[in-house]
Amino acid sequence: MILVSKRIKNISSVETEIGALEYVVPDMVVKELEGLGHDDKKKALHKMHYT
């Protein structure tokens, strides 16, 4: 298992070389992201930054 915090470039070539990659996301992170997805204030903030 490898902990990655940076973007992997050319992910398709990496998968060709070593096989399929499996991503593990801790439950705590999933819960936080789900909470942010249901928070209307956060959604509005996200739209302001990315539109």
* Strands of 1-51, DSSP E: none
Task: Output the six-digit token pair for 4.
Answer: 């990655």
The letter for the amino acid at 42 is K
Residue 33: what pLDDT? Answer: 84
Residue 46: what pLDDT? Answer: 58
Per-residue pLDDT of the chain (51 residues; tens, 9 = 90+): 566 677 777 888 888 888 888 878 889 988 988 888 777 766 655 565 555
6-19: pLDDT as tens digits: 777 788 888 888 88
Give one DSSP letter per residue of 10-34, joined into a string.
Answer: THHHHHHHH--------HHHHHHHH
Residue 1: what pLDDT? Answer: 59
* Reported pTM: 0.44
